[in-house]
Amino acid sequence: MSTVAIIQGRVGSTRFPNKIFADLCGKPFIWHVVNRLRYVKAIDKIVLATTTNPQDNELEKWALNEGLDCFRGSESNVLERFYEAAKFYEAKIIVRITADDPFKDPDVIGEVIDLLKNNQIDFAYNNNPPTFPEGLDTEVFTFKALENAFIKAKDDFEQEHVTQYFYRHPELFTQINLLNSENLSHLRWTVDTVDDYNFTKFIYEELYKEGVIFTMNQILELIKQNPEILKLNSQVERSSMYKNL
């Protein structure tokens, strides 16, 4: 059963232009997103799913130079882009990854994949309700469930945000949320703005080593030693799932 991680990413970003190629320890931001996925044993293939917008030609070129599979589809209908990419690569299980998140934890992703497989459900995740830091969100679903959502979702919001149809229709999809032992949802570890990038840069400069993946617990320990770094991006508006926490 083929498990494919699909990364949705594009060059266009209103709050932080071209962030996908921003430097992190001498490598492009997107490189680290991809690299962390390579440490998830359950993932068989990694695909970068970008748009047909000409400005993303540069992103496709980068992916191909890295030997990474690249799929191009709709810019606004990301659900369609995911469905077509999953269909093209004959995925049975899809791991949804956003290119904004350079701290994805291979162990957490593995747990969510196991949750889906072991319980033989349609959809597994760790962010509804969230107990992990924002940016460690992991969503895993079957191709059958994705196809069902692709056929039935007509709402613009559901088409732009791949998994919203699942959340809105729990009667149609068997689903389970993975809870962390401690509620860490007040932490913001994703990158939408330059402030987020400055926080990320600090963490990477302290913890990144080539050939080794630093974990959620190592980041928590670093924050414990340097609590002032949380102020770097504390004013950034959060995702609707996290903003009231």
One pLDDT digit (tens) per residue for the chain, 245 residues: 699 999 999 998 767 888 999 999 999 999 999 999 999 999 999 999 999 999 999 999 999 999 999 999 999 999 999 999 999 999 999 999 999 999 999 999 999 999 999 999 999 999 999 999 999 999 999 999 999 999 999 999 999 999 999 999 999 999 999 999 999 999 999 999 999 999 999 999 999 999 999 999 999 999 999 999 999 988 887 666 555 44
Please indicate, yes or no, if residue 113 is contained in any of the structural domains: yes
CATH number at residue 9: 3.90.550.10
Please indicate, yes or no, if residue 172 is contained in any of the structural domains: yes
Extract the tokens encoding 87.
Answer: 């269909």
Please indicate, yes or no, if residue 241 is contained in any of the structural domains: no
Radius of gyration over every alpha carbon of the chain, rounded to an integer in angstroms: 17
Extract the tokens encoding 16.
Answer: 């932080």
Q: SS3 of 50, please?
A: strand
Q: How many domains does the chain have?
A: 1
Give the pLDDT of residue 1. Answer: 67
- Residues in Cβ contact with 144 at an 8 Å cutoff, skipping those fewer than 6 apart: 122
Please indicate, yes or no, if residue 239 is contained in any of the structural domains: no
Provide the residue range defining the domain that includes 74: 3-233
Task: Pinpoint the alpha helices (H) of 25-160.
Answer: 29-37, 57-65, 78-88, 106-119, 143-152, 156-160
Asked whether the bond before 227 is cis by omega within 30 degrees of 0, the reply is no
pTM: 0.94
Please indicate, yes or no, if residue 242 is contained in any of the structural domains: no
Please indicate, yes or no, if residue 245 is contained in any of the structural domains: no
CB 157 within 8 A of CB 164: yes
Please indicate, yes or no, if residue 194 is contained in any of the structural domains: yes
d(CA 118, CA 124): 11
Please indicate, yes or no, if residue 51 is contained in any of the structural domains: yes
- Residues in Cβ contact with 128 at an 8 Å cutoff, skipping those fewer than 6 apart: 167, 177, 241
